[in-house]
Amino acid sequence: MARGTPRSRAAIRPGTSKTPGAAKSAGGAKSSRGTKPTGRAKSERAAKSRRAPRPKQHALRFLARLLAMLCAFAFMVAFAVVLAKLTLQPSPASEALTHTNLHPGRSLRAYLDQPELRDAVRQIGGNLLLGVPFGILVPVVAPRTRGVLRVLLLTATVMLLVECAQGALVTGRAFDIDDVILNTTGALIGYLLLGRRLSRAVHARGPRSDKA
């Protein structure tokens, strides 16, 4: 009885029925897929190119920020001169009328008890207005002081020093804790109305470029 021809190795071993040509074509398709960039990669590259800031924009932004800080510093110096004239100028005529006040609220009650409302508005409103420039200019000149607590603390410290100088060195002037409270309240109003927004606009950070 004649023996049959032996089967081919490809037929005996499972999983090896593919021809060499098909394997090559499959490998070529995989390599071609790996080399072509996907649509997502293209969009990411386009976004990075749009986000990348130009050197000219950096220079203009730096000049605008520097100019704003110089203007704020000039206003701050002018305000310091006006504040010194208003608070540190001797007043011998009112020496007998001035009294040191260490109790919060005592001077405020005295202002409100005056017969004419105009005098009370002038006293209270004037002290409030003296603190407003601190809340507006300090966060612009010194960005590290940005924040309501820091602005209030800095204003209170400066006004305490001014009041101490008034009571100890200036004739006709006395230390008044209510003036410090009103000045600090004015700084809070100035910061909430304009200082916070102005500081963010001047010291705004540019968009960060994504890492490759």
- The boundaries of the domain holding residue 141 are 54-91+101-202
- Which residue, among 54, 73, 76, has the nearest Cα to 65 in the 3D structure? 73
Question: pLDDT by residue (tens digit) across 158-190?
Answer: 999 988 988 888 777 888 999 999 999 999 999
Q: For residue 74, give both structure tokens.
A: 């000039």
Whether residue 30 lies inside any domain: the answer is no
DSSP string of 42-99, one letter each residue: HHHHHHHHHHSPPHHHHHHHHHHHHHHHHHHHHHHHHHHHHHHHHHSS--GGGTTT--
The domain tally of the chain equals: 1
- Say yes or no to pLDDT of 15 above 90: no
Whether residue 208 lies inside any domain: the answer is no
Whether residue 146 lies inside any domain: the answer is yes
Whether residue 23 lies inside any domain: the answer is no
Rounded-to-integer distance, Cα 23 and Cα 112, Å: 97
Q: For residue 61, give both structure tokens.
A: 């932004």
CB atoms within 10 A of CB 208: 8
Predicted confidence at residue 84, as pLDDT, reads: 77
Whether residue 193 lies inside any domain: the answer is yes
Q: Structure pTM? A: 0.64
Out of 13-22, 50-59, 73-82, give the one with best mean pLDDT.
73-82
Whether residue 59 lies inside any domain: the answer is yes
- Residue 101, φ and ψ in degrees, nearest 5: -125, 115
195 vs 92 pLDDT, higher one: 195
Whether residue 211 lies inside any domain: the answer is no
Encode 97-135: b = buried (16+ Cβ within 10 Å), e = exposed. ebeebeeeeebbeebeeeeeeeebeebbeebbebbbbbb
Predicted confidence at residue 67, as pLDDT, reads: 84
What Cα–Cα distance (Å) separates residue 2 from each residue in 7, 11, 181? Answer: 15, 22, 119
Q: What confidence tier does 192 reach under pLDDT thresholds 50, 70, 90?
A: very high
Whether residue 177 lies inside any domain: the answer is yes
In the DSSP assignment, the letter for residue 195 is: I
Q: For residue 186, count CB atoms less than 10 angstroms from its CB and return exposed for 0-12, middle for 13-18, buried for 19 or more.
A: buried
Given a contact cutoff of 8 angstroms between Cβ atoms, the answer to whether 131 and 190 are in contact is yes
